[in-house]
Amino acid sequence: MKHFDIVVVGGGPGGYVAAIKAAQAGKKVALVEKSKLGGVCLNWGCIPTKTLLKSVEVLQSIRHSGDFAVKGIDVASAAIDMVKLQQRKNSIVQKLTGGVGMLLKGNGVTVISGQGSFVDKQTMAVGDEMIQADNFIIATGSVPAKPPIPVSGAEVCPCHAPCTSHDICAPIIGSDEALDLTEVPTSLVIIGGGVIGIEFAYLYASLGAKVTVIELLDRILPMVDREITGEVAKMLRGMGITILTEAKVTRIVGNKVHYEVAGNEDSVVGEKILMSVGRVPHTDGLNIEALGIEMNRRAIKVDAVMQTNVPGIYAIGDVNGASMLAHTASMEGMVAVDHILGHTVSLDYNRIPSCIYIQPEIAAVGLTEEQAREQYGDVLVGKFPIAASGKAMVQGENRGMVKVILEPQYQEILGVHIYGPHATDLIAEPALAMNLEATAEEVAMSVHPHPTLSEILPEAFHAALGKAIHNL
């Protein structure tokens, strides 16, 4: 029986980072992966969706090329070759997964393929093989949630072949299938207005599909600052996307989605129906029940250093339910390994940025204005419109804003929200500022190059301090 210092279960962004960090510290490490290295993010999430969205961005640039005095382009015929787009996506994913494998091999991590199942707190079965470890790090990620919606009449696909929920030809699809479509559906109904649902709504509406989003809550993107979601909803509706809020899906019959709003029943037909109601931690097959690991519903309960109630067993990433983001998983993996190595490193979830990759992009770190007022009462709020930025004007961008929220007494940075071009890149600076506990005045007075989009950040901080320069 092989013995390791640390066994990591799951090769996603949390698992492989933890394995590499542990190996670099001189530990004997194994990584157990039943599917593909890189996990959901690399193979079926972050990277594939952003690849598709980049092609849409290029298409939109072509469509608006006349605004930049470009001539000679047949804008009317510009379109996406879906087959080639899928080939490009698959090629990028393949290169990156291969890169993860090379990194693991180069750092001396033993990769074991198969489903890992605990025998006891120091032993795991992977197929017919038994392995032992002093420490286990569970990094098995999440799976799409399955809402209790009655479905009927969808057993026969439009292609008239027997199918399952995983078949591309099926009317009801999940995010995995939505990433693999080689034809743009004429109509798409998306159940769920969270990040995944809205990214797909923007993607397929840009490609020509008639998109309807059905959201149970009173607004789409409920985790985003309310003022910004209002602007985003307005932009999406301007694209022709129908957004139904406070709408409860009651049943699906064939290609028809029945829903209820304010007690009134209605329905909408979609060539495809995308289930996008979030994700849940994935622990199937691990046999964690045998270890007595405490759970928080479906998530594995952990402490500040990612350790479960069973000493030597850790859980990171989506499986612990704290923050279902790839970069969070990576950092949690580092925190867990540091603890195993004898160091305690804290992780402040309030300082972890989040990103949404529609156009304009959305990015945020810290509290929303609503959350800040609930916790602090009075707050200072500064805003700067994207339309007032010289660089944004040059790029043909006029939608969006930067919003800064400060604690009133000491001007502590509570939250920064960006809705605009390259927001997902710009958010790193305020995240760093919050981690370094920089003051609002320090950020406002830091010199940013001109003309750049980065200038919008100090402008918003100046506004929050009552010293706006380029905005009345």
Tell me the C-alpha distance between 8 and 31, whole Å: 5
One-letter amino acid of 96: L
Determine contact, residues 468/459, Cβ cutoff 8 Å. yes
Cβ-based neighbour number of residue 122 at 10 Å: 16
Cβ-based neighbour number of residue 277 at 10 Å: 22
Q: Nearest 5 degrees, angle CA 311-CA 312-CA 317?
A: 105
Q: What is the dihedral of CA 316, 320, 321, 323, to 10 degrees?
A: -20
Max CA separation in the chain (angstroms): 71
DSSP string across 28-64: -EEEEESS-TTHHHHHHSHHHHHHHHHHHHHHHHHHT
Q: Which residues contact 142 (CB under 8 A, 6 or more apart)?
A: 40, 279, 280, 281, 282, 318, 319, 324
Tell me the C-alpha distance between 434 and 428, whole Å: 10
Q: What is the dihedral of CA 42, 142, 350, 227, to 10 degrees?
A: 80
Tell me the C-alpha distance between 308 and 319, whole Å: 12
Tell me the C-alpha distance between 470 and 160, whole Å: 61
Tell me the C-alpha distance between 408 and 379, whole Å: 5
Q: Which residues contact 205 (CB under 8 A, 6 or more apart)?
A: 211, 236, 239, 240, 241
Q: Active site includes 470?
A: no
Tell the residue number behind the tokens 């919606």, with chain if given: 149
Tell the residue number behind the tokens 């830091």, with chain if given: 446
The catalytic position among 3, 160, 282, 450 is 450
Q: What number of residues does the chain have?
A: 472
Determine contact, residues 142/174, Cβ cutoff 8 Å. no
Determine contact, residues 460/392, Cβ cutoff 8 Å. no
Phi-psi region of 148 (alpha: psi -120 to 50; beta: other; left: phi over 0): beta
Beta pairing partners, 152: 253
Determine contact, residues 398/386, Cβ cutoff 8 Å. yes
Which residues participate in catalysis according to the annotation?
A: 450
